[in-house]
Amino acid sequence: MPGADPTLSTVDRIKRSLVGLRMPRALECLDAVLRQVERGEIGTLEAIDTLLIDELTLRENRRIKTALVMARLSTMKTLAGFDFAFQPSLDRNRILALAGLDFISRHEVVHFTGPPGTGKSHLSIALGIEAVKAGRSVHFVSLADLVGTLAKAEREGSLREKIRFYSRFALLIVDEIGYLPVVPGGGNLFFQLVNARYEKGAMILTSNRGFAEWGQIFGDPVVATALLDRLLHHAVVVQIEGASYRLRQHEELVPEHVRSKALIQPPPALPPRRRGRPSKLQGAVDQHAG
């Protein structure tokens, strides 16, 4: 390392060192912190602690901002900003427990089901942001975009690489299941991804349709059942029953049949299975996929 420049003051040498160490926030705060020391408001150790905390805070904020962009979580939705009073069917404590992120460590799947506008995407994004803050890798995508990307990769002969890409995230959030029709073969492509992540990575899924309707959504009851077989094995199902938050100010303009609560059907009965062991259904799906 270069020796200390005797022509510089101690403060100037510290500033030069902070520049060399790429600590812009500490450099910005240095003069103000030194004035606090001179006035006897803080001690030397407290001054060092303040500079380091400010620098770490800046770096952490930058990391989170970059990670949110990479995760495609550009819309900032937080749990603090969610109106639990508007959706009394939701158990607030249950949602806050999910924010502890243990479901990611357990490679579980969280399902948010309910009518449009009830907060499913808000909650999924908020949990994704909590995961990013905790240093977990996250990716957010709508089902339509996901299936479209997988179909394109299949046509180009790079499906395996694309599935590997989506499998590397600790948390994959798939939004808007049931909102748009799935392209032919899309259910099989989604199944391949789900199967690759099964018991290896956590997922959050949002849907405005009941599980019993997945055969219609994916256009194939066998594939839909295979999907549910894995997605409900280690799962947390949060059913939201309520009115649309977005339409709350214009309720009188909305037809009665739209305002009425949508019925979300319970999951269909599935055969019990043990962790890590394929079910009998797997053979049927493999035969179907082949």
**Cα(101)–Cα(110) distance, rounded to whole angstroms?**
11
pLDDT at 4 over 70: no
**CA distances to 159, 283, 289 from 286, in Å:** 17, 5, 5
Joined together, the tokens standing for residue 110 give 């969280």
**Cα(88)–Cα(225) distance, rounded to whole angstroms?**
31
Q: Give pLDDT, residue 24.
A: 95
Last residue of a domain, one of 40, 70, 100: 70
Joined together, the tokens standing for residue 160 give 């395996």
How far is residue 39 CA from its own chain's centroid?
47
pLDDT at 278 over 80: no
pLDDT at 119 over 80: yes
What is residue 236's three-state secondary structure?
strand
Q: Give pLDDT, residue 276.
A: 53
- The answer to whether residue 127 is domain-embedded is yes
134-138 long-range contacts, CB within 8 A, separation 24+: 134/101, 136/101, 136/104, 136/170, 136/171, 137/67, 137/71, 137/168, 137/169, 137/170, 137/171, 138/67, 138/71, 138/73, 138/169, 138/170, 138/171, 138/172, 138/173
Last residue of a domain, one of 21, 46, 70: 70
- The residue range of the domain holding 220 is 84-289
pLDDT at 281 over 80: no
206 and 125 housed in the same domain: yes
pLDDT at 264 over 80: no
**Cα(151)–Cα(186) distance, rounded to whole angstroms?**
7
- The answer to whether residue 282 is domain-embedded is yes
- The answer to whether residue 218 is domain-embedded is yes
Q: What is the DSSP secondary structure assignment for residue 2, as one 8-state letter?
A: P
57 and 126 housed in the same domain: no
CATH number reported for the structural domain that contains residue 223 in this entry: 3.40.50.300
**Cα(15)–Cα(25) distance, rounded to whole angstroms?**
11
**Of 30-44, 132-146, 192-206, 275-289, minimum mean pLDDT range:** 275-289
Quick: pLDDT tens for 60-96: 999 999 999 999 997 889 999 999 888 888 999 999 9
Quick: pLDDT tens for 222-246: 999 999 999 999 999 999 986 666 5
* Partner residues linked to 113 by β-bridges: 207, 239
pLDDT, mean over the chain: 87
How far is residue 219 CA from its own chain's centroid?
27
Last residue of a domain, one of 70, 96, 113: 70
Structural domains in the chain (count): 2
pLDDT interval class at 105 (50, 70, 90) = very high
